[in-house]
């Protein structure tokens, strides 16, 4: 299957966040494909966005990856426990990113269950950003990987395109501190999909 190329990623985060829905995120672990369909995303809009790690041009050891070219992975540890997987988008030095929040598992489910013993049902495997990080065995080694060239981490294009009407747009979660940006409509998920995160359905 064809993977997404550079030009796909070199656009603003809200555009790419929506376009990523329905595509397949793949991590090859010990030669085995562990993959899922992207069903929920959030856009982080660069230096103007108060919820973005690169807000006001902040450039720290953690956020440095966000300043790379579109199509680079950005992984960080959250709450000391969870590895969250993002895709850096837009152009180099314009630090936009898309957080992948939920997947519908499609390949390597046995591996995912092993990585997530707490998950009781298939819908619990990847229905949140921390959950999918664990299920796909994502950690800091997967930070700053070029998704266009890597043999082990990339995103494949869906064969059929989605109907725009099946996408729900709403505010992002867990960023109450971001003032006016806390209510911006920058979260996208597939309506009626049972693998979206708990906070998406309330």
Q: Which residue has the tokens 């981490």?
A: 153
What span, in angstroms and rounded, lies between the C-alpha atoms of 29 and 146?
17
- Under the binding rule (CB under 7 A), the answer on residue 77 touching DNA is yes
- Under the binding rule (CB under 7 A), the answer on residue 129 touching DNA is yes
What span, in angstroms and rounded, lies between the C-alpha atoms of 88 and 200?
23
Work out which of 175, 186, 190, 200 binds DNA, going by CB under 7 A. 175
- Under the binding rule (CB under 7 A), the answer on residue 21 touching DNA is no
Total site size for DNA, rule CB under 7 A: 40
Stretch touching DNA by CB under 7 A, among 31-39, 69-77, 144-152, 163-171:
69-77
Identify which of 136, 116, 139 has the alpha carbon closest to the alpha carbon of residue 24.
136
The least distance separating DNA from the CB of residue 167, rounded to whole angstroms, comes to 19
What span, in angstroms and rounded, lies between the C-alpha atoms of 2 and 146?
16
36 to 65: interface string for DNA, x by CB under 7 A: ------x-x------xxx----x-xxxx--
Asked if residue 121 lies in contact with residue 177, where contact means CB atoms within 8 angstroms, the answer is no
Q: Is 4 or 102 the residue whose CB approaches DNA more closely?
A: 102
- Under the binding rule (CB under 7 A), the answer on residue 164 touching DNA is no
The least distance separating DNA from the CB of residue 95, rounded to whole angstroms, comes to 9
Could you say which residues in the range 83-112 bind DNA, by CB under 7 A? 84, 86, 97, 99
The least distance separating DNA from the CB of residue 58, rounded to whole angstroms, comes to 5
Q: Is 44 or 189 the residue whose CB approaches DNA more closely?
A: 44
Contacts with 71 (C-beta within 8 Å, 6 or more apart), sequence order: 4, 5, 6, 8, 9, 10, 87, 88, 89, 146, 147, 148
What span, in angstroms and rounded, lies between the C-alpha atoms of 16 and 84?
18
Stretch touching DNA by CB under 7 A, among 16-24, 25-33, 71-79, 146-154:
71-79
Secondary structure of residue 62 in the 3-state scheme: coil
Q: What are phi and psi of 8, to 5 degrees?
A: -60, -40
Q: Read off the tokens for 184.
A: 């911006």
Write out the residues near DNA by the rule CB under 7 A: 42, 44, 51-53, 58, 60-63, 66, 74, 76-82, 84, 86, 97, 99, 116, 118-119, 124, 128-132, 172-175, 177, 197-199
């Amino acid at each position: 299957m064809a993977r997404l190329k550079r030009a796909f990623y070199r656009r603003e985060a809200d555009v790419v966040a929506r376009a990523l829905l329905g595509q397949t995120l793949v991590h090859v672990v010990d030669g085995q494909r562990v993959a899922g369909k992207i069903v929920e995303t959030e856009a982080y809009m660069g230096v103007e966005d108060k919820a973005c790690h690169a807000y006001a041009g902040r450039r720290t050891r953690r956020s440095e990856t966000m300043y790379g070219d579109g199509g680079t992975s950005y992984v960080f540890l959250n709450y000391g426990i969870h590895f969250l997987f993002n895709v850096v988008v837009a152009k180099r030095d314009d630090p936009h990113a898309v957080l992948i929040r939920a997947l519908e598992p499609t390949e390597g489910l046995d591996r995912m269950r092993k990585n997530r013993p707490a998950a009781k049902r298939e819908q619990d495997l990847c229905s949140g950003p921390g959950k999918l990080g664990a299920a796909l065995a994502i950690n800091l080694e997967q930070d700053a990987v070029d998704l266009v060239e890597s043999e082990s981490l990339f995103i494949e294009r869906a064969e059929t395109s989605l109907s725009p009407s099946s996408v729900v747009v709403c505010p992002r979660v867990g960023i109450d501190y971001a003032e006016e940006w806390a209510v911006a409509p920058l979260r996208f998920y597939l309506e009626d999909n049972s693998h979206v995160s708990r906070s998406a359905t309330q």
